[in-house]
Amino acid sequence: MNELLLLYRDHFAHAGWAWTLLGVLVAIGLYGYGRRARRRALAGLGRPEAIAPLVASVNAEARIVRAVFTLLALAAVCVALLRPQHGGVAKVIPAKGLDIVVAVDYSKSMLVDDVYPSRIERLEAELSHFIDDARARGDRVGVVVFAGEARGLPLTSDMRLLRMYLRAADPRTENPGGTAIGKALNLSLRFLLEARRDASGELPSAEAEEDEGEDEGTDEDAAAAPSPDEADQVIILLTDGEDNASAPIEVATEAARVGVRIYTVGIGSKSGQPVVKFDHRGRPAGWVKDDEGKVVMTRLDEATLREIAKMTGGAYTHVSPDAFGLDAVREQLAELAVAQREDNVEIEREESFPFVVLPAFALLCLALALGDRRRTRREEAQA
C-alpha cells in the first residue's frame, strides 16, 4: 500500500488535489437525482398510455451517452488538475552547498524606473540567474519579500517553488507600505536557525534551558554559533530604501552572534527618487505625498547597509542603474565554506496533462453534439 502511495505521489505533481475527484461523484448523484425527478414529473401528468405519444421522440439512450461523456470529461479535467507526469531524467544535486535566504524589498519604491524597465523587473531577472547558480552549487535557498511587513518561503532545494513564489509577489499589492528591513532580517534569520536545528536535532526546550546553569547555556550558544569564517549560512538583503522603525542593527547583532553573514545590496539612486502612487487597478496615479503635500522621496541608506554587512562579516555592494547585477555577490559567496549534506536526487519529469485535457475537450464536444430527441418518421421523410 505504501509503495502504491509513493508511486502515486511520484507521478502527480499536485497529488494533494485528489479531493477534486469527489466532484465526479457529486455529478453522478445530480444526474441520478435529475433522472428520478423527470420520471416523477411524467408520472404526475396522467396515465402512462396517454403520456407515451408525447415523449416518444425523446432519445433516452442519447441522454445516457451524453451524461457518460460529460462525466468522463469531468473526471479527465480533475485528473489534469493533479498534474500527471511521466518519464523523467534523474539529476544528482551536489552534497555541498550554502544555506541562503534572499530578502527582497518589494515596497512600491521598487517600481521606480531609474533601472530599465523598472527596479523590480530587473531584480527579478537577476534573481532568476542567481537561483540557477544556487541550484548548480547544491545550495538551499529561501526567500523573504518585505515592505512594511515581511513574509517568506523557508529554505528549499526546489527552485521551481521559489520561482512560483516570486512570480506571485507584486509591490503593488504588498501592504502595509514601507521598508521594514529589520523584520525581513529577523524572518530570514529564523529560517536559517530552523534549518540548523533540523540538521543537528532538537534543541532543549525552553523549560530545560531555564533549569540549566548559566555556564551550560553559554557552552550551548557557543556550539550553535560558528565563527563567520566557517559560516555556511548567509542572508542576502536587497533593498532600495531606508529603515527607521524595525531596528535592523539589533537583528544584525544577533546574526553576528550565531555566525550568519549578511550581504547587503543597495539598489538604485543614492540621491533619492519619488515614490509612485498606484490606484486600485495597479496603475500609476501620480506621486505619494506627505501630510504637508510634499512628494515622498525614497533614498538608499548606504551607511546602515554597510554597518550591517561589516558587523556580520559580509560585504556591501551598490547596484547602479547602468551596472545592475548580482555578479559581485556570486563571487563573494563562492569563497565561503559550504555545508556537508547528503546527496539529493531530483527527477525532472515531463508533463502529461495535455494528454488528459485534449480527450476531455473531445468528449465535451461529442456530448454537446448529441441531441435530446430522435427524428420522427415525418421528419425523416421530409429530409
Which domains, from first to last, does the chain contain? 2-84+352-382 (no CATH), 93-340 (3.40.50.410)
How far, in Å, CA of 74 to CA of 68, rounded?
10
pLDDT tens, residue order, the chain (383 aa): 666 776 667 778 888 888 999 999 999 999 999 889 988 888 887 777 777 777 777 888 888 999 999 999 999 999 999 888 887 776 665 556 789 999 998 877 676 666 666 777 777 888 888 888 888 777 889 999 998 899 999 999 888 888 888 888 887 777 777 788 999 999 999 999 998 888 665 443 333 333 444 444 434 443 344 444 445 899 999 987 777 677 899 999 999 999 999 999 887 766 666 766 766 665 667 777 777 777 766 677 888 999 999 999 999 988 765 566 678 888 888 777 555 455 566 667 788 888 999 999 999 999 888 877 776 555 555 55
Closest CA to 256 of 320, 326, 313: 313
What are the distances in angstroms from CA 381 to CA 62, 296, 375, 376, 377?
Answer: 22, 82, 10, 9, 6
Q: Give pTM, 2 decimals.
A: 0.59
Query: Roughly what angle, to the nearest 10 degrees, separates helices 248-257 and 181-200?
Result: 20
Instruction: Let me know: does 135 contact 161? Beta carbons within 8 Å.
Output: no
